[in-house]
Chain A
Amino acid sequence: MAISRRKFLASIGAAIGAGTSGALTNAYGATNKHFKGYPQSFGVLHDTTRCIGCRKCEQACNEVNKLDKPEKAFDDLSVLDQKRRTKENAYTVVNKFKGKFDVFAKKQCNHCQEPACASACFVKALKKDKTGAVVYDESLCVGCRYCMVACPFNIPAYTYNDPITPKVTKCTMCLPRIREGKLPGCVEICPREALVFGKRKDLLKIAWKRIYKNPDHYIEHVYGEHEMGGTSWLYLSSVPFEQIGMSEDLGVTPAPKFTSGALGTVPMVVGLWPVLLTGVYAISKRKEKIANEEKKEAVQKANDLALNEMNNQLLQQKNQMTKEKEAAIRNEVAKALEKAAKKAEEDAKAADDAGKEEE
């Protein structure tokens, strides 16, 4: 029993340990490594100051990805009056933000350097590709939608009305086209060159060059350079990013870092809990054993004491009885002797009297 238990626990530990140690290496649990992204990865620079809200990119995206046609045609610009987000038949949307002048900003998957969605996916259906694209494999997806919970930009959508093959939908960065040597659909069609495709590190240089050249025109910040550990899509703006629907308080910590601490405690629990709990069990067992022994001892002692007392009493009684008996015998003997003496006296007296009479 003892051996089988130990073996059993060891195998559990090994199983869970193996399962979770992988997580640690992925999440860079407690190292001071800093992942700067795949060096040759691509990205897109979106200069919102150049965007005119023509929705051509939306149309191109729709055609390239063979999505369902929307209710309103792409040249109907009235849809810009409403705030929109990505959805199952729109991997990208352009929003209009009113201010001193209208600003347009395109929204799609930002293809994070260390994506929250990929780190959250429990079947590895989402992965960061070396090209920079965050790709989704429908054939693995269970449909838990944790990626949608995790995404700080609220990008992935879900085909809720599909009962049999529902899936997550989002921008693919046109990975198939990139592999063919083509530009992403939206970049290719943009009439204003508000979108530039290239190596992410080159795009960063271009972005900062534009800012330096035109410091009054741009906000001095390249959105996506550091947000959530950096994204493959980068943004320039002439108004604060918060005003064009982009959160400015996401911080620079890559998403996997938020969970690495909790994940890191898992192997510790697996390793230490059996020791601790078996220890507690052993202590409680031993306490019980000692308590039992003490109880037994106490009972034994009490028994012995009682027995001794009884023996003593018996002995005393016996002694007393013998004494009484002896006394009684002595009494009787004395009585008998007395009687005999009396009789002898009487006899002697009688004989004496008889003698006197004879005289």
Chain B
Amino acid sequence: MGSEKTIAQKQFVTPFNVVAAIIILVGLVITVLRFTKGIGAVTNLDNNNPWGLWIGFDLLCGVALAAGGYVTSSACYIFGLKKYHSAVRPAILTAFLGYAMVVLALNYDVGRPWRLPYPIFYSQGTSSLLFEVGLCVFLYLTVLFVEWTPAAFEWLGLKKIRNWVVRLTLVLTIFGVILSTLHQSSLGALFLIAPSKLHPLWYSEYLHVYFFISSIFAGLSMVIFESSMAHKWLHDKMDETHLAEADGVVLGFGKAASFIMMGYIGIKIIGIAVDNNWHYLTTGWGLWFLVELIGFVLFPAILYSVGSREKNTKLIKIAAIWTILGIVLNRLNVSLIAFNWRLPASERYFPSFMEVWTTIFIITIGVVIYKFIATRMPILYEHPEYKEDH
């Protein structure tokens, strides 16, 4: 801890760096292809399937899994759960990088990425849910950036401006929760416009509520998952406070997640009842729906509750990974698998190799930047000069 200066001399050729370099190099080749030959040259998208993996995974899952930022900071600063303080900075950093990667992925997906500022600054299509998503993601990315800057300022030794930004914490946190509520839910609401294309079991007038509520336990699970990853790889960067609080974060977040997931299952069942969609449950699609709801929400929720009752952090960490997979499954179901469910199999979409690689490429960039920052800036430890300063 506090040993920022010793990192530079570390060995450069490590397995992590080699793998990352290969992924990034191939990713750059695909990038060149994408921007010289067009979207059609690298993706399996077509006129019936205008949205593919880059929207279904990179945008929808990316945003949901970056929810740890607003969940953790609101738990600590708004709900006054100070014992989670050491989890705030890593959560904010991953959220910021998560959103940055989402925006990066959008640059690949949209036809003319240089026009991405248009909806905000040039021609506002206010009746579109996508406008709301765009505006909120833009604003929230800014908020996350500002929330992250104190770490950078501490690293750079800019005390005055750091203290000034820290004073904005509460405002930024509240603003962040508002924006997150809005765009997390709006990502679900995007699909409300196409009731004829999304399978009735997934289409619901509550789709935006489902997306918001599930983003909360997605965020909680990601914080647990990231912290276990960081413990494995960046243990030496953590200070005593972080290490002492870590188990408390896992137990507390696990318990919260199990409660919220049970509530989520409740509102999902209400959704089926409201639209009287019970009969679909006996079809193949119904089975798939139950796999998602029982297999990937109810089971991990039970595991979470057992884990937190028995104070078993290992169970909770397994539940976290399970829940994350469930979130990914849900987002892919809504955007790709149960979307266009009426199209014949020959017209359905399956991502191309280059789409998948691009997605991995973008995740890798995010991980590399996280590692760069976490090994240098006071993320997993408190800067000695600013201790007890919160």
| B residues 44-88 in Cβ contact with A at 8 Å | 45-48, 50-51, 74, 77-80
- Contact flag A277-B36 (CB < 8 Å), given A19-B135, A146-B130, A288-B80: no
The CA-CA distance from A23 to B127 in the complex, in Å, is 4
Could you mark each residue 283-295 of chain A with 1 if its beta carbon is under 8 Å from any beta carbon of chain B, else 0?
Answer: 0110110000000
The secondary structure that dominates the B interface is: helix
Inter-chain residue pair count (beta carbon < 8 A): 205
CB of B39 closer than 8 Å to a CB of A: yes
- Contact flag A122-B131 (CB < 8 Å), given A116-B193, A160-B46: yes
Query: Closest B-chain residue to A157, C-beta based?
Result: B47
| B residues 114-128 in Cβ contact with A at 8 Å | 115-116, 118-119, 122-128
CB of A148 closer than 8 Å to a CB of B: yes
CB of A255 closer than 8 Å to a CB of B: yes
The CA-CA distance from A165 to B114 in the complex, in Å, is 11
CB of A152 closer than 8 Å to a CB of B: yes
Query: Closest B-chain residue to A251, C-beta based?
Result: B195
CB of B182 closer than 8 Å to a CB of A: yes
| B residues 173-225 in Cβ contact with A at 8 Å | 174-175, 177-178, 181-182, 185-186, 189-197, 205, 207-208
Q: Smallest Cβ distance from B324 to chain A, in angstroms?
A: 25
The CA-CA distance from A265 to B181 in the complex, in Å, is 11
A287 and B51 form a contact (CB under 8 A): no
Could you mark each residue 296-325 of chain B with 1 if its beta carbon is under 8 Å from any beta carbon of chain A, else 0?
Answer: 000000000000000000000000000000
The CA-CA distance from A19 to B121 in the complex, in Å, is 11
The listed residue with most A CB atoms (<10 A of its CB), out of B134, B185, B193, is: B193
Chain A residues whose C-beta falls within 8 Å of the C-beta of B258 in the assembled complex = none
CB of A281 closer than 8 Å to a CB of B: yes
Chain B residues whose C-beta falls within 8 Å of the C-beta of A125 in the assembled complex = 123, 125
CB of A130 closer than 8 Å to a CB of B: no
| A residues 1-46 in Cβ contact with B at 8 Å | 1, 5, 8-9, 12, 16, 19-20, 22-23, 26-27
B35 and A163 form a contact (CB under 8 A): yes
The CA-CA distance from A161 to B47 in the complex, in Å, is 12
Q: 30 A–B contact pairs at CB < 8 A?
A: A5-B171, A19-B124, A20-B132, A23-B126, A23-B127, A23-B128, A23-B132, A27-B127, A87-B47, A119-B128, A120-B193, A121-B125, A122-B119, A123-B123, A124-B123, A141-B112, A146-B128, A148-B50, A150-B193, A152-B194, A154-B48, A160-B38, A160-B45, A161-B41, A163-B39, A262-B186, A263-B127, A263-B132, A270-B178, A281-B170
| A residues 123-154 in Cβ contact with B at 8 Å | 123-125, 140-146, 148-150, 152, 154
CB of A250 closer than 8 Å to a CB of B: yes
Chain B residues whose C-beta falls within 8 Å of the C-beta of A121 in the assembled complex = 125, 128
CB of A315 closer than 8 Å to a CB of B: no
CB of A166 closer than 8 Å to a CB of B: yes
A119 and B126 form a contact (CB under 8 A): no
Query: Closest A-chain residue to B189, C-beta based?
Result: A262
CB of A259 closer than 8 Å to a CB of B: yes
A119 and B182 form a contact (CB under 8 A): no
Q: Smallest Cβ distance from A160 to chain B, in angstroms?
A: 3
B170 and A5 form a contact (CB under 8 A): yes
How many of chain A's residues touch chain B, expressed as a range? 35 or more
The listed residue with most B CB atoms (<10 A of its CB), out of A27, A146, A287, is: A146
A158 and B127 form a contact (CB under 8 A): no
B39 and A160 form a contact (CB under 8 A): yes
A277 and B177 form a contact (CB under 8 A): yes
Query: Closest A-chain residue to B112, C-beta based?
Result: A143
- Contact flag A287-B80 (CB < 8 Å), given A124-B124, A158-B50: yes
The secondary structure that dominates the A interface is: helix
CB of A249 closer than 8 Å to a CB of B: yes
- Contact flag A142-B115 (CB < 8 Å), given A85-B47, A269-B181, A273-B174: yes
Q: Smallest Cβ distance from A162 to chain B, in angstroms?
A: 5
CB of A266 closer than 8 Å to a CB of B: yes
Chain A residues whose C-beta falls within 8 Å of the C-beta of B194 in the assembled complex = 116, 149-150, 152
The listed residue with most B CB atoms (<10 A of its CB), out of A122, A143, A156, is: A122
Could you mark each residue 17-58 of chain B with 1 if its beta carbon is under 8 Å from any beta carbon of chain A, else 0?
Answer: 000000000000000001111111101011110110000000
CB of B263 closer than 8 Å to a CB of A: no
Chain A residues whose C-beta falls within 8 Å of the C-beta of B80 in the assembled complex = 281, 284-285, 287-288
Chain A residues whose C-beta falls within 8 Å of the C-beta of B205 in the assembled complex = 261
From A86, A87, A124, A259, give the contact of B189 (CB < 8 A): A259
| A residues 71-90 in Cβ contact with B at 8 Å | 85-87
CB of A167 closer than 8 Å to a CB of B: yes
CB of A308 closer than 8 Å to a CB of B: no
Q: Smallest Cβ distance from B176 to chain A, in angstroms?
A: 10
CB of B248 closer than 8 Å to a CB of A: no
